[in-house]
Amino acid sequence: MLKLWGRINSPNVQKVLWLLEDLALPYERIDAGLQFGRVNDPDFRALNPNGKIPVLEDGDYVLWETNAILRYLAMRHGGAAGRALYPEDPAARASVDRWMDWQLSTLSPAERVMFWGLVRTPPAQQDWAAIHASVAASAGCWRILDARLAAGGPFVEGAGFSLADIVLGTLVHRWFAVEVDGRPNFPALRRWYEALHARPGFLRWVGVTLT
């Protein structure tokens, strides 16, 4: 039985839950992080010395870092569906990896202040200059993906749904779920976002109220 540590309102945990749902893999989940604590307990730090979620246990094998967990699950437990999500062809796999790395290096830092400022900060403490700067930075990223989808769609890597759609789709829900003035309209991005609602893992774990 797979064991996943992490709270369900963490986008990084949601990515893994989405994949587990789509692959119909059985697992046990243990709440950890924020109000649940645990991440500084010695037993958790033995699993992940960084004290962060998610963490995956597969028997004696322990893995942390969300996108590494996604790759592992697709390759180790995904079967044919996993090979479609994370192709074996080097060029196709590198293209998926490119978007997964871009999510970590570029998109997440751009949108983090927007999300935390609008969803997890009391109104009286919101820094609107920082929020608007984050919205603008996020829009610059989503404009890149909108152009990609408009040119090749319906998914990030063309005809086939992949891990790239999971890592970016988890964050695009935050883009469309918040209310902020001046947010640009990205038609191809919107069509892709709406198409993601056909995925069972997205519906159950990602397309929910932000908290």
Question: Could you tell me if 107 and 32 lie in one domain?
Answer: no
pLDDT digits (tens, 9 = 90+) for 26-64: 999 999 988 888 999 999 999 999 999 999 999 999 999
What is the 8-class DSSP label of residue 56? E
Tell whether 155 and 190 lie within a shared domain: yes
**Could you read off the pLDDT of 142-157 as tens digits, one per residue?**
999 999 999 998 999 9
- Strands lying side by side in the sheet with 61-64: 27-30, 2-5, 55-58, 61-64
Asked if 24 and 76 sit in the same domain, the reply is yes
193 with 119, same domain: the answer is yes
Last residue of one domain, picked from the residues 47, 67, 83 = 83
183 pLDDT band, cuts 50/70/90, is confident
Query: CA-to-CA distance for 143 and 131, rounded, in angstroms?
Result: 18
Establish if 211 belongs to a structural domain.
no
Residue 77 lies in a domain: yes
Asked if the structure places residue 146 within a domain, the reply is: yes
What mean pLDDT is reported for the chain? 95
pTM: 0.95
Residue at token pair 């037993």? 43
Domain shared by 73 and 137, yes or no = no
Predicted confidence band at 77 (pLDDT cuts at 50, 70, 90)?
A: very high
Asked whether residue 151 falls in the same domain as residue 186, the answer is: yes
Asked if 173 and 99 sit in the same domain, the reply is yes
pLDDT of residue 105: 97
Position of tokens 């890597």?
Answer: 157
Residue-level pLDDT at 1: 86
Percentage of the chain exceeding pLDDT 70: 100
Contact 44, 51 (CB under 8 A): yes
Give percent of the chain above pLDDT 90: 92
Task: Show the domain range for 156.
Answer: 88-203
CATH of the domain at 53: 3.40.30.10
Q: How many domains does the chain have?
A: 2
pLDDT band, very low/low/confident/very high, at 190 (cuts 50, 70, 90): very high
Q: Residue range 172-187: average pLDDT? A: 90
Indicate whether 35 and 70 sit together in one domain.
yes
Of 46, 63, 83, the one marking the end of a domain is 83
**CATH number of the structural domain spanning residue 168:** 1.20.1050.10
Picking from 40, 58, 83, the residue at the C-terminal end of a domain is: 83
Cβ atoms of 10 and 53 within 8 Å: the answer is yes
- Does any domain span residue 209? no
